[in-house]
């Protein structure tokens, strides 16, 4: 049986809602988890394919399906919060996303020209105990504005620096799984395409499901889905390869 991973945030619902609501049938075993957990499961061979962070894809030995979570100019759900100005101070990092952390570090060194000290975000403390911190996913959407802090959308900063889309996650496939389960992978590829097409035709149902997963108002969910892109074309792949090259400069 093909084992497939999905990120358990509302940004993946346009890809996964049809499976969750039994509108598209699949024989694959689906797992829902945070990005860093899926990265590990795929790397350890416990999944055959998964939506993983772009960093996990770039650092692994994978092929991919042309679907993911992409921002063309802004995304609303990958935010740096700063109390004062961008500086060489402390930035606390969520552990949920490798791509967002890597993007933040790249922006600090190559766009903002600062050298902050990065520390883990301690969830036993109040966020306001930190001068700056990174949040992602549904939590970032729920906390878009925090009193006393300025919010910086990392996708916006990336676009200002490069003029390119940013690929936060994509469907990576283990090469061994593709060799052993080629027919199953091809079948799921078609099912995934069907699932996305269904979501685009049934936007109201997807938003209703999102409202069951998060307290966000429907208007914000609609705005968010308008910003998220889910298919990797040439321009998106250029953004991914540019990110890969800049990580090692």
| Mean pLDDT of the 206-234 span | 94
pLDDT interval class at 130 (50, 70, 90)? very high
**What pLDDT was estimated at residue 164?**
98
Q: Please, where are the H alpha helices in 202-233?
A: 203-213, 218-227
Asked if the model's pLDDT at residue 249 lies above 80, the reply is no
Nearest to 16 by CA among 53, 180, 24, 90: 24
Q: How far is CA 26 from the centre of its chain?
A: 23
| Mean pLDDT of the 190-210 span | 96
Where is 156: in which H helix or E strand?
Answer: helix 154-162
For the whole model, what pTM was predicted?
0.92
User: Which domains, from first to last, does the chain contain?
Assistant: 3-71+166-247 (3.40.190.10), 78-162 (3.40.190.10)
Asked if the model's pLDDT at residue 99 lies above 90, the reply is no
Asked if the model's pLDDT at residue 85 lies above 90, the reply is no
pLDDT interval class at 73 (50, 70, 90)? very high
Give 35 or 161, the one with higher predicted confidence. Answer: 161
| CB-based burial label for 78 (10 Å; 0-12, 13-18, 19+) | buried
Asked if the model's pLDDT at residue 97 lies above 80, the reply is no
Where is 173: in which H helix or E strand?
Answer: strand 166-174
């Amino acid at each position: 049986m093909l084992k497939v991973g999905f990120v358990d945030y509302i940004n993946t619902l346009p890809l996964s809602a049809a499976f969750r609501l039994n509108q598209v049938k699949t024989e694959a075993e689906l797992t829902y988890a945070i990005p860093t957990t899926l990265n590990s499961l795929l790397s350890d061979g416990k999944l055959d394919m998964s939506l993983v962070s772009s960093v996990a894809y770039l650092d692994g030995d994978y092929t991919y399906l042309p679907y993911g979570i992409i921002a063309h100019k802004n995304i609303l759900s990958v935010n740096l919060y700063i109390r004062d100005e961008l500086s060489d101070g402390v930035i606390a990092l969520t552990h949920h996303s490798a791509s967002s952390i890597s993007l933040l570090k790249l922006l600090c060194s190559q766009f903002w020209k600062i050298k902050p000290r990065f520390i883990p975000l301690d969830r036993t403390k109040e966020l306001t105990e930190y001068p700056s911190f990174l949040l992602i996913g549904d939590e970032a959407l729920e906390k878009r504005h925090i009193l006393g802090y300025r919010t910086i959308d990392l996708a916006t900063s990336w676009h200002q620096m490069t003029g390119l889309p940013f690929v936060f996650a994509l469907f990576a496939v283990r090469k061994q799984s593709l060799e052993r389960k080629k027919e199953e992978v091809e079948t799921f590829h078609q099912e995934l395409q069907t699932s996305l097409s269904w979501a685009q035709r049934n936007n109201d149902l997807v938003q209703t499901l999102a409202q069951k997963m998060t307290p966000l108002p429907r208007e914000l969910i609609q705005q968010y889905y308008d910003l998220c892109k889910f298919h990797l074309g040439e321009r998106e792949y250029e953004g991914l390869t540019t990110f890969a090259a800049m990580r090692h400069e």
